[in-house]
Each structure stands twice: as structure tokens, then as C-alpha cells.
Structure 1
Amino acid sequence: MSTRKKTSVDNNQNETQRDKNIQISFYRRTLIIIIGIISGILVLFSRAYYLQITRHDYYRTRSQKNRVKSQVIPPIRGNIFDRNGIALSENILSYDLIVNRAKSQKHEQLIEKINQYIRFNNDDLLKYNLDKRKKLFNQDIIVRSDLTQEEINTFSVDLYKFPGFKIVPSYKRHYPYGTLTAHVIGYINNINKKDKKTLDQREYSGTLKIGRTGIEKEYESLLHGQAGFRQAEVTKTGRIIRIL
């Protein structure tokens, strides 16, 4: 009888010890988990402090540079008059159809529909493709220049069907007396790679043409004028959100 009681007591003691061991093991695991969580929180807080406090000025400057871009406003070329105030060379307001590929996912398919609204032949397509090769993805490409008023009216009605496309004003050089004064007045032409090596890139970054002969060339710096600049808020793809 006493042997049975002793065995029963031993079993109870063993069970009690196992329970204590289980509790100790549970507390240890719980403590390890709590320490891990606290360590993780401390790491996150220290990283947040580093980014937001220690490196605040650095990242703020980088963010500002990525968000705000300086854009060039090309100057309007000066007119040439004789001593009586009669224009010998002047700018005529014109309108171009342009497209921005970053704003138009289906621009190539839409280009094929352009001739339903305006004149767009093989020569126009060739000029468009040449201009496209020169431009970055988020830069405007000229689809057709010198739109007539009738073409503007026709296309404007369905312009909403052409996302990324828009009609913008531009200026074309006009010589009222044609060849009669050409040898004196001269003419302007597109800027080429050779010109870019000698021109002020900041002043001419938005300019497409330069004086080649005559007065147009001799007084190029005066006729060209000075470029303007504006600050624009843009997305990471370069799309303008607003002008600052």
C-alpha cells in the first residue's frame, strides 16, 4: 500500500515538474518574441529618424529636383523693318498639331486616322517620323504644321478622341517682298549639329531656326532675343501637372 502511495506521489511530482518546464519554456519563447518585436520596432524607429531627421534636407532637395523642373520659353524672333516702318521680315501666327507619346498610349493607331480630319500625306508622315526620332518619349512631336482654319475647326470637334494630341500656336517667318529683298534680308533655317557646337545651349535649347544669310545672320543675337524660363511641377515621366 505504501509503495503505491509513493509511486503516486512521484508521478504527481513528475507531472508538476513537467508543467513547470512547459511554463518556463513558454515564458522563454514569449520573452524572445517580445524582445524580437521590440528590437524590430527600435530598428524601424531608428531608420525613420535617420531618413526624416538626419537626412531630411538631403532627401527634400532630391525630391524637389525630381518634382520641379525648369522649362525653357523660346523667344519670338524679332521683326525687320525699313526706315519707314515697313516690315521686311516678320512673324506670322500659325498653328501646329502636336502629340505627346507619354500622354497617348495609342498614338500610332491615332496617327493613321489623322487624314480623316486634316491633310496628312506621305511627306507629312516622313516629317513626323523624323521629328519623333529626335525627341524624347515625353517631348512634344509635330504631327502637322501650318493647319488651315478649316482644318482646325474640323479636328477640334473630335479632339477629345485623340488623347495626347493638341493644337498649339507657333510663328512662321514671312518675307513680304520675297526674292526682291532676299539678298539683303537673308533667310533662316533649321539649327544643325554643327550650329549646336557653337551656340549657347541654354539660350537656344527651345529654338529651332537660326539666321543663315544677310541681316538675319548678321544680327542673329539681336533678332533671336533671350529665352525665358518657368518652373513646372511634373510627374516622374515628365508630364506637367501645373506651372508654378
Structure 2
Amino acid sequence: MPHSRRIGGMADLPRLCIFGDSHYACLKQAEVQGLVDVTGVDLEYWGHVGGRFHHLEYRDGAVRPLDDFTARRFAKFNAKGRMVLPAADFDTIHVTGARVYVWRLFHQILRGLAEGPFVSSGLVRRVLADGLRGQSGYRLAAGLASTGTARVVLSPVAFYTADPARFADLVTPGMAALIPAQVPEFWGILRTVAAEDGITLLPQPDDTVSAGLFTDPAYAVANHVEKRDYEHHNAGYGALILARAVQVARQA
């Protein structure tokens, strides 16, 4: 486990980086609005919209943009103008969203389980493991974790905001009946898989979940129906995720 730097016998503040795509914006909003006490950590943000994640790679101990344009875009939104993200510069890196999706995986497996006894526990684990490790944002997180120089924590993209009128046909009664028992199992498998790669995966907070597979509309972005934005969430949600990240960093 990494340790805080020391100067003159006094420990510096634990160094925490929030690394993510557009989903990290709600954490930044939570900090700006004073919803989270971030004292006791040296906090940075390094991220950009998800489309630019296709232009990142992990190499030589750092996440690196593949081109100068992408490097400048990430540097623009970092207080120190960082063009790369070296794991060794931090005690904790909280990977936020980062195009790591679990909803589709959960939905796919629930649908298969509801249709009949053809989905074994081994297949469930394989689908979840392959589905997680196959996502580029997850591979960036795994690369950072492989250095052993920073604790890497992952909060995947939250479930879609609940909207019965829009999503009513996506979850059958049979699937809904399976959710209470199965979804916690799915999260447990993902946590185990991530731990094998040196990553601490944090499930979506229970209090934010509606009907087992969606996010409570209380955490939706403003005017989400008009914007048709069911994926992003507000500062209230960001506060919950940022508070977890800060707590982990303080313990690093």
C-alpha cells in the first residue's frame, strides 16, 4: 500500500486523483458546492468527455494520451496542467465512470436467467469478468493498479435514471423477481474480479438505487427528461461518490 510523502518528518496530505470521463463532473460540482469535506487530502481531477478515452493508453506507469490534442484537452481541466497521469504521483486514484458500464451486463444476465435454466453460475462469472475486463476504461485502471504505487479505486458508471414510461419494457416481471437476489451477487463477482487485478471496485450506493436496476430520479441532472439524459447524475450523487473517494484516500 502506498504511503504519503514525508517532508521534515511530517506527512504530507494523502494525494487523491479523481480520474474519469464526463461522469466525474458531478464530483467536481459537489466539491464546488461545498457538499463534501475534502480537507485532509491533496485533491486533483484529471479527465475529459468519454470520446477522448479512445485516445488514451496505459504505458510505462502512466495513462498517456495518444496525441497532443488529447493531451492538451486533459491538461486544460487539471489544476496542474498534467498531460499524463502517472500512478506514482498519487496515493489513491479514484477511477470515476471512465466508460466502465455494468448496467448492460447485469441486464443481459438477468434476461438470460429469466428465460430458463441455461445460465450457469460459471457462465455468469465469465460474462461479468470478460465484460468488465473488455472495457477500455477498466484496462486503464488495471494498468495503473499494476504499478503497485497507488491504490486504485473504481466506481463504474451509475445505472440509468429510473423512468417507468421509458424503460418499462426493458425489465420483465421475471427479471424483476430475480433482481433482489442476483444484483448483489453480480456486484460481489465484479468486486472479486477487480480485486484480482489490484482494483477496489465500489458498487453504486444502495440508497441511490430504484427498482434494483435504476438510479433514483432524485439524483438525475436538471431537466434530464427534456435533455434525454438518463446517464449523468447531479451534485447530490457526486457528493456520495466523492465522499467515498476522500474516505478511502484518508485511509491510504
- Give the TM-score normalised by structure 2: 0.25
Larger Rg: 1
